[in-house]
Chain A
Amino acid sequence: MYFTLEELGLVDCPQEESFDNLTSLAAELLQVPVAHISIADQARKRIYYKSQFGHPDELAQARELPMQLTYCQHVALTGGRVVVTDAREHPLLIGTPAVNEDAPLAYLGIPVKSPGGEVVGGLCMMQPEVRHWTSAEISRAERLAGCVSDLVRLKVSNLVSEQLCREQQTFTYAISHDLRSPANTIGMILEEVKLQGNLLSEDNQMLIDKGIEAVERMGYQIEDVLSYSQTIGAQTEEERIDLNRMIEEILMDLACDIDPANTAVKNSVCSSIVGNPMQIRALFQNLISNALKFRKPGHVHTVNILSVPSNKGLCILVSDNGIGIEPKHQRKIFDLFQRLNLRKDFEGTGIGLSLCKQVARNHNIAIGIESDGASGTTFSLEFPEQCL
């Protein structure tokens, strides 16, 4: 993938501490009054200072110089380090407009590279007086410049991952959308055939019904995949959430799954947290509907949603006395499309807990499970301090 210097935040961008730290470190380590990270912007024939230390006020304000007025251009032009003991005698600089009475005499410029190996600029150190740079000094500067290149690499990686995430979301959305339409068509065809059902053998009538069920299931599956893809990638719109209210709303939505005659649900959570409301809702919705779903036949089912003291922040438990999850199966329950039960026993798409895991990851929530595989399951959510 190709990114412009601007997209990478290397030109016309705010200063960044990570770059500034390396610049000031370079100045200290090599004992020079001036150091900077210069970016060679070939399109606009200028050198842009991504980071600067010790520049005179005017230059510090402008943060750029026409390329021909700089020593730094030669780092990009030659693609290698530029070591200047005395600018007045250096073959690259002698007689050029860059060497004027304000210009430093000694200069050391080390290339900063993009992950592709292209020289995008340099880490440069300079002083007014003549200086013989020792090989130890040059080596130190090169190691620091390596760190600057790593920062550039990190920026590229971040952009790539953001881009992939966006593409993946668009892709999943398009796929789900395009799958829905043939599924709808098949559903309609089957319904049509079913109208003439009396012409078919009993066996074939049953197959038509199974086909209709399967297409309906496909609809749910597509919807779940879609909501999963929407929670991937950190959406940062966060607000304060009243958990008690959110859980009560979820319980209301799930009311048709709760038969008061054999199910007791208790919500004693009264905390509030900061998070993305849509994602946190999906998290609780999935945990609670699982807790309601996996009941033991013939038992009075109880579901408890409560908060317990925690030394890290806030811990919320969603617990039930249902069928439980055997310890040997617990490690795979968060995997995508993983199911532990036959459809005739418990419906499901195998996406819910993967989605919970993703939401938890986005919010730095530690999600845990406790079950002996026989007497219920407890999911725990440890909210970090930043969520409180």
Chain B
Amino acid sequence: MPVTALPDINTVLTIDDEPVDQLLYRRIIERSGIAKHVMPFELAEEALSYLRTEDRLDIDLVLLDINMPRMSGLEFLEQATDEFGENFSQIMVIMLSTSLDPEDERKAREYPAVRGYLKKPLTLEKFISQWQAVHQS
């Protein structure tokens, strides 16, 4: 796999309430060599408050689960778009979902930040090919 040919990015946020999935995301992202840092959040609300902090890292990519407690991935998209506008839309968001409901995908794709939609489970191949597609467009 042409891992070394890919451009490096700095920081990926992974937002998913499942700790084991988080652990596997980190492994896959590290193996891909695409990003330097991975920041996991188990609740969308916590990721939102991180986005609000002033001296936060520049975020290039967000991997976002849909079905999460309290605030769903779709609610997160709505809130973040409202609050940060253009600043949020520049971040690339890839949705990660178990949801088989095409309506969820349609809703997610309405947000300009959302560049990709992946069905779980995430694998190294899926991640790299999605990243290439997202990054080239």
A328, closest chain B residue (CB)? B70
B105 an interface residue at 8 Å Cβ cutoff? Answer: no
Q: For A337, what are the chain B residues with a Cβ–Cβ distance below 8 Å?
A: 67
Number of residues on chain B facing chain A (CB within 8 A): 10
Contact of B69 among A207, A210, A214, A341 (CB under 8 A): A341
For B17, B20, B42, B67, which residue has the most chain A Cβ atoms within 10 angstroms?
B20
**Provided the pairs A214-B20, A342-B42, A344-B19 are in contact, do residues A329 and B67 lie with their beta carbons within 8 angstroms?**
no
A180 an interface residue at 8 Å Cβ cutoff? Answer: no
**Provided the pairs A210-B20, A214-B20 are in contact, do residues A342 and B69 lie with their beta carbons within 8 angstroms?**
yes
Contact B20–A339 (Cβ < 8 Å): no
A207 to B19, CA, bound (A): 11
A9 to B125, CA, bound (A): 58
A339 to B43, CA, bound (A): 12
A329 to B20, CA, bound (A): 26
Q: For A329, what are the chain B residues with a Cβ–Cβ distance below 8 Å?
A: 70
B18 an interface residue at 8 Å Cβ cutoff? Answer: yes
Contact A340–B20 (Cβ < 8 Å): no
Contact of B70 among A340, A343, A344 (CB under 8 A): A340
A213, closest chain B residue (CB)? B20
Contact of A343 among B17, B23, B67 (CB under 8 A): B17
Contact B17–A342 (Cβ < 8 Å): yes
A342 to B67, CA, bound (A): 12
Chain B window 33-58, contacts with chain A (Cβ cutoff 8 Å), 1 for yes, 0 for no? 00000000011000000000000000
Interface residues of A in 307-357 (CB under 8 A from B): 329, 337, 339-344
A185 to B19, CA, bound (A): 23
Chain A window 205-228, contacts with chain B (Cβ cutoff 8 Å), 1 for yes, 0 for no? 001001000100000000000000
Q: For B43, what are the chain A residues with a Cβ–Cβ distance below 8 Å?
A: 342
A211, closest chain B residue (CB)? B20
A10 to B2, CA, bound (A): 70
A329 to B19, CA, bound (A): 23
A329 to B67, CA, bound (A): 15
Q: How far is the CB of B11 from chain A (nearest CB, A)?
A: 23
Interface residues of B in 1-33 (CB under 8 A from A): 17-20, 23
Q: How far is the CB of A346 from chain B (nearest CB, A)?
A: 9
A326, closest chain B residue (CB)? B70
Can you list 13 pairs linking A and B with CB atoms under 8 Å apart? A207-B23, A210-B20, A210-B23, A337-B67, A339-B69, A340-B70, A341-B69, A341-B70, A342-B42, A342-B43, A343-B17, A343-B18, A343-B19
Interface residues in chain B, defined as those with a beta carbon under 8 Å from any beta carbon in chain A: 17-20, 23, 42-43, 67, 69-70
